[in-house]
Amino acid sequence: QSVLTQPPSASGTPGQRVTISCSGSRTNIGGNYVYWYQQLPGTAPKLLIQRNNQRPSGVPDRFSGSKSGTSASLAISGLRSEDEADYFCAAWDDSLSVSFGGGTKLTVL
Amino acid sequence: EVQLLESGGGLVKPGDSLRLSCAGSGFNFNVYAMSWVRQAPGRGLEWVSAISGSGERTYYGDSVKGRFTIYRDNSKNTLFLQMNSLRVADTALYYCTKDDDGYYSDIWGQGTPVTVSS
């Protein structure tokens, strides 16, 4: 069971906006950055959002991140078929470890 | 271009040992912390271990503490994970990552598979 809680699945149609939540606690999300990763089928994870809401170079601005208290969210606007992937959140925990969410499988209908 | 190339995975029996390696290139290796993250078949990501740039500080997940050892050779730009007393539950694809902002993974290798089976 993962320390950070994500919904196991999400879906949307092309062009829609979808959000994926990530819930933690005071010791992880509450006091540390949240990172988001995208894992396309059969590939290694790729950094999508760093420091709660910053996009690394090359990540489209359709992807955005936010954090409030002990929860964080990833939003994808203008959904495309190529966004179909697994999405994971992660946060440093004050117990000196990194916690990952269980992952959310996004389906583009 | 930053590249991470893992090696050393394979098929072993429960109780065996294995050492994974990760060769880094395209960045100042000794400046950055590095981590190992694993993914069991069909499952999510599990953080395994991390090490500071100098190698002085190391951290481990509860499931591997006391069995795995992370270390690095900065003269060879290489990260290692020594895995002892392997269990069936350690079966996974092991990713090497370059870290940012402490121990957050920003660049990932392609992974090396480890299968523990009798």
A5-32 residue pLDDT tens = 999 999 999 999 999 999 999 999 999 9
- pLDDT at A1 > cutoff 80: no
Instruction: Name, in order, each residue with C-beta under 8 angstroms of A109's C-beta and a sequence gap of 6 or more.
Output: A11, A12, A13
Among residues B105, B79, B65, B62, which one has the least CA distance to residue B22?
B79
- pLDDT at A74 > cutoff 80: yes
Kind of pairing between the strands at A71-76 and A85-93: unpaired
Q: Shortest CB distance from B59 goes to which of A2, A44, A97?
A: A97
Residues of A in contact with B107 (CB under 8 A): 47
Q: How far apart are the first and last CA of chain A?
A: 28
Burial label, B117 (beta-carbon count in 10 A; 0-12, 13-18, 19+): exposed
Q: b/e string for B29-52 if b means 16 or more Cβ within 10 A?
A: beebbbbbbbbeeeebbbbbbbbb
3-state secondary structure at position A35 = strand
- Residue for token pair 């950070």: A4
Given this model, what pLDDT does residue A15 score?
97
Contact yes or no for B105 and A37 at CB 8 A:
yes
Q: Shortest CB distance from A50 goes to which of B61, B95, B106?
A: B106
Q: b/e string for A8-22 if b means 16 or more Cβ within 10 A?
A: eebebeeeeebebbb
With CA atoms as reference, the chain A residue closest to B102 would be: A92
DSSP-derived letter for residue B29 is: G
Given this model, what pLDDT does residue A2 score?
82
CB pairs under 8 A between A and B: 61
Q: Which residues of chain B have pLDDT under 70?
A: none
What would the pLDDT profile of A27-60 be if each residue is shown by its tens digit? 999 999 999 999 999 999 999 999 999 999 999 9
Phi and psi at A38, nearest 5°, equal: -110, 130
